[in-house]
């Protein structure tokens, strides 16, 4: 398998997305507060609300927000592990 930087980035993104989705699913379907506290608690660094620059002729809006929880981080590490071992 050709191991390039783009392949690593793909593994990291897919692992993070799957971990984040699993965290959201656990948030909705788990009855236990312990699971909410450990796995579903997230931090959200980014620009919120988005920054807007109005230049009369054009209006530019820039914003991003990362929502990271424990399962997202575990998914990223799993993606890096799979990249290394495949």
Residue 43, token pair as written in the block: 């931090």
Checking if the pLDDT of 75 tops 80, the result is: yes
Checking if the pLDDT of 79 tops 70, the result is: yes
Mean pLDDT, the chain, rounded, equals 89
Average pLDDT over residues 17-37: 85
Cβ–Cβ contacts within 10 Å for residue 20, how many?
20
Residue 55, token pair as written in the block: 């230049």
Report how far residue 18's alpha carbon sits from residue 1's, in angstroms, rounded to the nearest whole number.
Answer: 22
39-71 pLDDT, tens digit each: 778 888 998 889 999 999 999 999 999 889 899
Checking if the pLDDT of 1 tops 70, the result is: no
């Amino acid at each position: 398998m050709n191991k390039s930087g783009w392949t690593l980035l793909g593994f990291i993104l897919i692992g993070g997305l799957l971990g984040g989705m699993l965290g959201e699913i656990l948030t909705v379907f788990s009855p236990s507060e312990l699971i909410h506290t450990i796995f579903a608690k997230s931090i959200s660094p980014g620009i919120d609300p988005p920054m807007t620059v109005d230049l009369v002729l054009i209006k530019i809006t820039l914003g991003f927000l990362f929502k990271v929880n424990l399962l997202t981080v575990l998914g990223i590490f799993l993606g890096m592990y799979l990249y290394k071992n495949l």
